C-alpha cells in the first residue's frame, strides 16, 4: 500500500529535480549492438542525491507521522547516508544524532563538518561497538530509545526504504532489459528487484569485499513470495574492499567522466560501471540488450579524494 506523504516531505520533494536518463554513446557498445543509459539520480538534489532520498523518504514519513522529534542512525566518517540525514533532519526541523565508526579525527573531514553544521550530534564508536549496532536492523530496535527518538539502521536499510526505491522503476521511460546498481547494504537492490517487471534482470555490484552475505540480506528485505529469479549480485568488483580503489579504477573513472560528462565517485558507481564494461568484454550481454545503470550519487564523499 502506498503511504500518503507527510506535507513537510511533500514540500521538500517539490524542490527536487527530475532524474533523467543519459544515453552513453560509445563505439565499444555500438559495435556489439548494446545500449547503455545512466539513470541520473545524482541530479535529484544538490545534497540529498542518489539513492539517499529514495531510501529515506518513507522512513522519514513514518518518523513524522509517528510524532518523532529526533532521528538517530549510524555510518562511517564519509557516510552519504548520514550526510543526507543531517541535511534532511534540519530541513524538517528534527534533531539528528549519529554513531560514527572509528575514533574522532583531529580534523573533521568535509562530510563530518557538514554534519556538525547541520546540527547532527556525533558519537564516535569503536569498530566493535559499530559492528554490534548493525544488529539493530529495524526501526525502533535500538535499545533504550527515549520517546520521540526514531532509529534508522545503517544506510536506512528497512522495508520502508524499498518503497521509495520502487518509485525509480516507473520513472524509466524507455524499454530496457537489465538494471545495474551498486550494493552496500543491498537495500537499493532489493527495492529495485521488488518493483521490477519480470521481463528485466536486476544486477547488483558489491562495493565491498566478501559480499556473499548480501544475498541473504537482500532476501530478508524482499517480500516472502519473491524468488531468486531475475536478479544476481556480482561480488568481484570491489577493488580490495569498501572504500578501496586502484589506479586502474580511477583512470577508468576519469576517462569515462571526460568522454561522457557524467561525474562519478570510486566507491560505488565507478565500480558498477567498471563491472558493466568488464561484462561487455566477456560477452555477458546478448546483442540488442539495453542496460540501465543507476547513478546512486554519493559525490559529496569524494570531495577530498581521501582514497587516492
Ligand atoms: C552513493 C551510494 N551508492 C550506493 C549505495 C549502496 O546502497 P545500498 O546500501 O542500499 O546497497 C550507497 C549506500 O547507501 C551510497 O551511498
Q: Are residues 42 and 184 in the same domain?
A: yes
Residue 188 Cα to ligand 1 middle (Å): 7
Judge whether 307 lies within some domain.
no
- Across the strands, what pairs with 293? 38, 180
Cβ–ligand 1 distance for 35 under 6 Å, the answer no
User: From the CA atom positions of the chain, what is the Rg in Å?
Assistant: 19
Q: Name the band, by pLDDT with cuts 50, 70 and 90, for residue 260.
A: very high
Residue 26 CA to chain centroid, in angstroms? 26
Q: Number of folded domains in the chain?
A: 2
Residue 178 CA to chain centroid, in angstroms? 18
Q: Are residues 146 and 85 in the same domain?
A: yes
For the cut 70, the answer to whether the pLDDT of residue 84 exceeds it is yes
Cβ–ligand 1 distance for 191 under 6 Å, the answer no
Given 156, 181, 200, the domain boundary residue is 156
Q: Are residues 261 and 193 in the same domain?
A: yes
Q: Name the band, by pLDDT with cuts 50, 70 and 90, for residue 45.
A: very high
For the stretch 1-33, pLDDT in tens is 457 999 999 999 999 998 899 999 999 999 999
Judge whether 208 lies within some domain.
yes
Range list of H helices, 79-122: 80-92, 110-117
Q: Name the band, by pLDDT with cuts 50, 70 and 90, for residue 303.
A: confident
Domain range for 76: 51-156
> Buried b / exposed e across 246-283, counting CB within 10 Å, b at 16+?
eeebbebbeebeeebebbbbbbbbbbbbbbbeebbeee
For the cut 70, the answer to whether the pLDDT of residue 163 exceeds it is yes
Q: Are residues 131 and 249 in the same domain?
A: no
Instruction: Give the CATH number for residue 102.
Output: 3.40.50.1100
Q: Are residues 146 and 282 in the same domain?
A: no
Q: Are residues 122 and 195 in the same domain?
A: no
Q: Are residues 242 and 282 in the same domain?
A: yes
Nearest atom of ligand 1 to the alpha carbon of 50: 1
Judge whether 272 lies within some domain.
yes
Q: Which of 5, 30, 26, 54 is nearest to 297 (CA)?
A: 54
The pLDDT, as a whole number, for residue 306 is 47
Q: Are residues 45 and 171 in the same domain?
A: yes
pLDDT, averaged across the chain: 95
Judge whether 27 lies within some domain.
yes
The pLDDT, as a whole number, for residue 166 is 97
Q: Using CB atoms within 10 A of its CB, is residue 127 exposed (0-12), middle (13-18) or buried (19+)?
A: exposed
Amino acid at each position: 500500500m502506498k503511504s500518503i506523504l507527510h506535507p513537510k516531505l511533500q514540500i521538500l520533494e517539490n524542490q527536487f529535480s527530475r532524474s533523467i536518463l543519459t544515453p552513453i554513446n560509445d563505439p565499444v557498445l555500438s559495435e556489439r549492438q548494446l545500449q547503455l543509459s545512466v539513470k541520473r539520480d545524482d541530479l535529484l538534489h544538490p545534497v540529498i542525491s542518489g539513492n539517499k532520498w529514495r531510501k529515506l523518504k518513507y522512513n522519514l514519513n513514518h518518523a513524522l507521522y509517528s510524532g518523532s522529534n529526533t532521528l538517530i542512525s549510524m555510518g562511517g566518517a564519509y557516510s552519504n547516508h548520514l550526510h543526507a540525514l543531517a541535511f534532511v533532519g534540519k530541513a524538517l526541523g528534527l534533531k539528528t544524532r549519529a554513531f560514527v565508526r572509528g575514533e574522532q579525527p583531529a580534523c573533521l573531514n568535509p562530510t563530518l563538518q557538514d554534519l556538525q553544521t547541520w546540527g547532527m550530534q556525533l558519537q564516535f564508536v569503536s569498530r566493535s561497538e559499530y559492528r554490534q549496532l548493525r544488529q539493530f536492523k529495524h526501526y525502533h530496535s535500538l535499545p533504550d530509545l527515549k520517546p520521540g527518538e526514531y532509529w534508522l539502521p545503517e544506510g536506512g536499510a528497512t522495508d520502508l526504504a524499498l518503497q521509495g526505491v520502487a518509485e525509480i522503476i516507473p520513472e524509466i521511460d524507455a524499454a530496457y532489459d537489465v538494471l545495474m546498481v551498486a550494493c552496500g547494504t543491498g537495500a537499493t537492490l532489493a527495492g529495485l528487484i521488488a518493483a521490477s517487471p519480470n521481463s528485466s534482470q536486476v544486477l547488483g555490484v558489491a562495493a565491498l569485499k566478501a559480499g556473499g552475505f548480501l544475498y541473504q540480506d537482500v532476501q530478508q528485505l524482499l517480500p516472502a513470495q519473491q524468488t531468486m529469479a531475475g536478479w544476481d549480485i556480482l561480488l568481484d568488483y570491489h577493488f580490495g574492499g569498501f572504500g578501496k580503489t586502484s589506479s586502474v579504477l580511477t583512470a577508468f573513472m576519469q576517462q569515462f567522466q571526460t568522454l561522457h560528462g557524467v561525474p562519478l565517485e570510486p566507491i560505488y558507481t565507478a565500480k558498477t560501471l567498471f563491472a558493466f564494461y568488464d561484462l561487455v568484454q566477456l560477452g555477458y550481454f546478448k546483442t540488442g540488450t539495453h542496460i540501465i545503470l543507476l547513478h546512486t550519487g554519493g559525490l559529496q564523499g569524494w570531495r577530498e579524494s581521501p582514497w587516492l
